[in-house]
Copies of this chain bind each other. A is one copy, B any other.
Amino acid sequence: MALSHAILVSLLDRAHSGYDLAKRFDQTVGFFWPVSHQQIYQELHKLAAAGRVRAETVTQSERPNRIVYELTDEGRRALDQWLTEPTEPPTFKEELLVKLFALDEHNRDDLLAEIRSRRQLHAERLARYEAIMAEHYPQPEALNARRRGRYLGLRMGILTERTTLAWCDEALALVALPKAAAAVGSGRPRPAD
């Protein structure tokens, strides 16, 4: 149940509305813990009921009112407590790899197309992360602790995207390769399987 904690973490710096949080999540914590805006609103209600955040309504003319949440001492304690508890192992869900388990002669082209479009996605992500890195984290050793933590998140993103790109290239080559063509050194085909 790290969703509530992900929200508490986001409130560490300063108070935010649910709307703010949803937007920030898309760029930061949400990369490691994806969350929809409905989840955020619901979780904020629960956190308020539990006394871990305090809600304050900001009336606005010309705009809908905002409800801004800030951490309470109670919330801060809950966060610290959580940091000392053992961490869940990471989980992936990679539909593409499930599909590859069904790879066969007659679906080869479909899957090649999927890998290509996946490659594109990861290339774009990598470019985005590298731009953020160049702009905001030129010298990681000079950062204070809080920003080092964020840097490490971004760094993980970059390493992951690079690895995935490399994998895509391998996959494209191997899937496209004719059946058992590459018999060590000689270009001659071999009986398959």
Contact = CB atoms under 8 A, between A and B. Distances in A.
Nearest to A113: B84
A181 to B, nearest CB: 7
A170 B148 CA distance: 11
Interface residues of A, number: 79
A10 to B, nearest CB: 8
Contact of A156 (B10, B80, B97): B97
Interface of A is mostly: helix
A102 B87 contact: no
Nearest to A173: B141
B100 A149 contact: yes
A64 interface: no
Contact of A98 (B9, B95, B118, B182): B9
Nearest to A106: B80
